[in-house]
Every structure is written in C-alpha cells, then in structure tokens.
C-alpha cells in the first residue's frame, strides 16, 4: 500500500497527527499492532494539566490548553472535558515555599497560568479537604477529559477527512528507500514518503528499526477507580510532596493515580498491579479526605507508556534519516499535549518547520550525553 505519510501507533498522538495532516489534504495511514487506544491512550487518567510542567514543555502545554478549550471545533466532540482546575496542595511551610518558587519561575518565563492560593481560597475551592493543609498552587484553566472518548473523536474526525486507520498491523521491518520508506508488516508492505513514529511504549523498538535509536523505557503506570460518589470535589488534586493524582469524574467515580509503576513483562505485555504501592496511594487519599475511608475500589489497571531518561518527550524530525519523524516518550503526561503535537508534526512534514520551539525535544539530545 502507498501513502504520503505512514504513522505507526494509533494512540492519541498518532490520531492527532493524522487529523492535522488530513485537514491539510495530505493522505495518511495510521497502523497499530493492536487497536486504537489499546495502551496508554486508553488507559491514562485524562489529565489536562499545564500545572507543574517541565519548563521546556510549558509553551507547548499552554498552546495545547487553548486547543482543548475549543476542542469541539476541532473534532466535533467535547471529549467530555471539564475545566475545573488542577492544584498541588501544600501541607506545611516547606511545601508552600517550594510551590512559591515554582510560581515565581513560571512567571519569570512570562506565563501567568500557575498561581499561589492561600488557605482560605483553598478551602473555598475544596471544602472537603482535611483541615491540615496550608495553601496550594493552582491552574484554573486545567481540568480533565475522557481519554478513550477523546481518542475516538480524533480518530473519527481524521477518518472523515480521509485518514485510514488499520488495526492488528504489526511492524516487522523498516527500510529507507531513497528518501522514502518501506515498512513490512503483518498485513503487507507499506510504502510512504514520510514515516512518523508515535508508538508509545514500543517507539524505542521502532526507532531502532529506523536506524535512529533513542533510550526509551516502557513502563506500566497504575491507576485505580472507585465506585460512584455524590459530587464533592471539583479540581484535580495533587500534592506538593506526596505522590498523588486524584480526581472525581463527571459520573462521580474517583480516579486515583500518582505515577506509580506496576510490574511489567514487556514481551508478553502482561502487567501486574503492585498493591503495596497502591496501598500508599490509598493512604494518601484518606489522609487528605478522611471521609472517603469506606469508599470501595472497583478496579485497578496499568497502561504501558514510553519514558525517556529526562522525562520529557522526543518530538521532531530525525537527524539521522530522511523524512523520518518522532513523537514519543511522553513519560505519562502526553494526553494534554496531543492536539498541539499533531499540529507540530503536520507542519514539520508539510512545511519543513514549525512555529513552536521544539529544540529541547530533539532525539539527538541523547547523542550529546553519550
């Protein structure tokens, strides 16, 4: 099969890239060894967070936030997003100082989206919070969406504009043919002018096949969800010095995470929940909201995601091969960035440059270290 752009990985990054390419009339095929959103894009917590980003990611995250606030005009679906704010709670003076430094750093970059709030406003925002907290760092424009719904909306919109999604298509080999590509898969051979690697946890393997290696590690991040509860908290909650990510979804369930890693057998893709870590999470939640102690956990799971050594993604054109592009290694915070990554890749592929600054995400940053 022939196409202008072949995208490997039908997660949200791949779907977003396909959408932006299709919007500009470029033909593309998205292949996936499983089905769209089977791994990280279907299993993540759906956080729309600008708060506490790595400084390199802030410009991208702010641009992505603008797109999320207007997502319906892009994908004809609101992706079930809510902008209820995200905050990081300080439990003591040391926490508060840490957060104040952070806010000052963000302001010094010329951004205003992260603000410090005192105890009074914190308890106005979250009356149910345990009384021991002293303040918080807040981003009012943050919130959350439903990951699989967002992915489906991006995919369907891209399909409506001519993009093709093909599941159960595992890549066996990748060869550069002149300035284009030949990709052999379990469903036949694909030929394309350009090739995009956004294969999440498997992107390291594909980067190797593209002769443009990157030090990616696949890890499985755990989440758990409770039964439905009456509405009691709006913002997505984090903590300044404890591993916590906690939100009440539209339907009343609580999603509890916090970058906790499950056991993973990458070869078989089998994940195993590490209960002693989730027990810590449960304890943290009960410390912040003692009234939740009898709430029942209904389900826990882990999704496989790609991590880079510096925990920021690889985004951009390959320096080693022609017409090869990467967008992977989002290290468990790619959901929010996805819409803008699609724009960036489409610009790189079709215009040869992008308006946003992506130097910090170059794949060659790891060569320098070596």
Partner 1 sequence: MKNHYQLVIVGAGPAGLAAAVTASEQGISCAVLDEQAAVGGQIYRAIESVPEQRAKVLGTEYQRGTALAKAFRESKAEYFPNTKVWSLTADKQIGLLHDGKSKLITADQVLLVSGAIERPVPFPGWTLPGVMQAGAGQILFKSSGVVPSEGVVLAGSGPLLLLLAWQYMQVGVEIKAMLDVTPLSNHLQAMPKLPRALLAHHYLTKGLVYQRDLKRAGVVTKIGVSDLRAEADENDELQTVHYRHLGREHSIETGLLMTHFGIIPHIWLTQAAGCKHQWDKSQQCWRPSHDKWGNTSLQGILVAGDGAGINGARSAEHTGRLAGLQALYALGVISEAERDKQSITERKWVKAERHIRPFLEAYFAIPQEMLATHAKDTIICRCEEITAGEIRTAVEQSHGDSNQVKYLSRCGMGACQGRQCANAVAHIVADAGGLAVSEKSHFRGRPPVAPLSLQELASLSEENV
- Residue ranges binding partner 1 (CB under 8 A): 35, 37, 42, 148-149, 152, 156, 167, 225-228, 251, 270, 272-273, 275-276, 278-280, 282-283, 285-286, 292-301
Residue 254, both tokens: 């609580």
Q: Min. distance of Cβ 227 from partner 1 in angstroms?
A: 5
Of 71 and 216, nearer to partner 1 (C-beta) is 71
Of 175 and 265, nearer to partner 1 (C-beta) is 265
Q: Min. distance of Cβ 174 from partner 1 in angstroms?
A: 26
Give the number of residues written for the chain. Answer: 370
Of 167 and 217, nearer to partner 1 (C-beta) is 167
* Helix, strand, or coil (residue 59): helix
Q: Min. distance of Cβ 276 from partner 1 in angstroms?
A: 6
C-beta of residue 209 within 8 angstroms of C-beta of residue 58:
no
Residue 290, both tokens: 């003692």
Q: Compute CA 112 distance to the chain's CA centroid, rounded to the nearest angstrom.
A: 22
Of 106 and 153, nearer to partner 1 (C-beta) is 153
Residue 243, both tokens: 């591993």
Q: Alpha-carbon distance 346 to 342, whole Å?
A: 6
Of 77 and 320, nearer to partner 1 (C-beta) is 77
Q: Min. distance of Cβ 295 from partner 1 in angstroms?
A: 5
Of 103 and 259, nearer to partner 1 (C-beta) is 259
Q: Alpha-carbon distance 366 to 370, whole Å?
A: 6
Q: Alpha-carbon distance 135 to 218, whole Å?
A: 35
Residue 178, both tokens: 């002149």
Q: Min. distance of Cβ 190 from partner 1 in angstroms?
A: 20
Q: Alpha-carbon distance 274 to 308, whole Å?
A: 22
With CA atoms as reference, report the closest residue to 137 among 68, 55, 238: 238
Residue 135, both tokens: 């303040």
Q: Min. distance of Cβ 273 from partner 1 in angstroms?
A: 6
């Amino acid at each position: 099969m022939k196409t202008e752009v072949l995208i490997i990985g039908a997660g949200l990054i791949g779907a977003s890239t396909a959408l932006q390419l299709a919007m500009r009339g470029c033909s593309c095929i998205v292949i996936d060894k499983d089905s769209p959103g089977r791994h990280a894009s279907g299993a993540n917590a759906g956080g729309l967070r600008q708060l506490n980003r790595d400084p390199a990611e802030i410009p991208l995250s702010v641009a992505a936030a603008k797109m999320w606030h207007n997502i319906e005009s892009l994908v004809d679906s609101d992706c079930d997003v809510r902008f209820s704010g995200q905050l990081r709670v300080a439990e003591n003076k040391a926490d508060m100082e840490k957060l104040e430094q952070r806010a000052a750093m963000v302001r010094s970059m010329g951004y205003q989206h992260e603000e410090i709030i005192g105890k009074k406003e914190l308890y106005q925002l979250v009356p149910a919070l345990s009384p021991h907290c002293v303040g918080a760092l807040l981003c009012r424009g943050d919130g959350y969406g439903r990951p699989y719904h967002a992915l489906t909306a991006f995919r369907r919109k891209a399909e409506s504009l001519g993009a093709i999604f093909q599941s159960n298509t595992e890549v066996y080999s990748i060869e550069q043919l002149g300035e284009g590509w030949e990709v052999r898969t379990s469903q036949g051979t694909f030929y394309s002018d350009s090739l995009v690697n956004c294969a999440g946890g498997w992107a390291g393997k594909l980067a190797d096949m593209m002769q443009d290696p990157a030090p990616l590690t696949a890890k499985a991040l755990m989440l758990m969800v409770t039964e439905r509860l009456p509405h009691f908290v709006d913002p997505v909650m984090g903590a300044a010095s404890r591993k916590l990510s906690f939100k009440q979804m539209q339907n009343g369930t609580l999603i509890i995470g916090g970058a906790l890693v499950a056991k993973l057998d990458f070869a078989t893709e089998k994940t195993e929940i590490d209960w002693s870590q989730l027990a810590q999470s449960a304890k943290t939640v009960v410390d912040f909201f003692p009234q939740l102690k009898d709430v029942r956990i209904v389900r826990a799971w882990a999704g496989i995601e790609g991590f880079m050594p510096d925990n920021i993604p690889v985004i951009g054109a390959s320096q080693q091969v022609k017409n090869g592009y990467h967008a992977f290694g989002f290290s468990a915070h790619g959901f929010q960035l996805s819409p803008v990554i699609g724009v960036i890749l489409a610009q790189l592929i079709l215009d040869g440059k992008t308006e946003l600054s992506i130097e910090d995400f170059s794949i060659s940053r790891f060569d320098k270290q070596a």
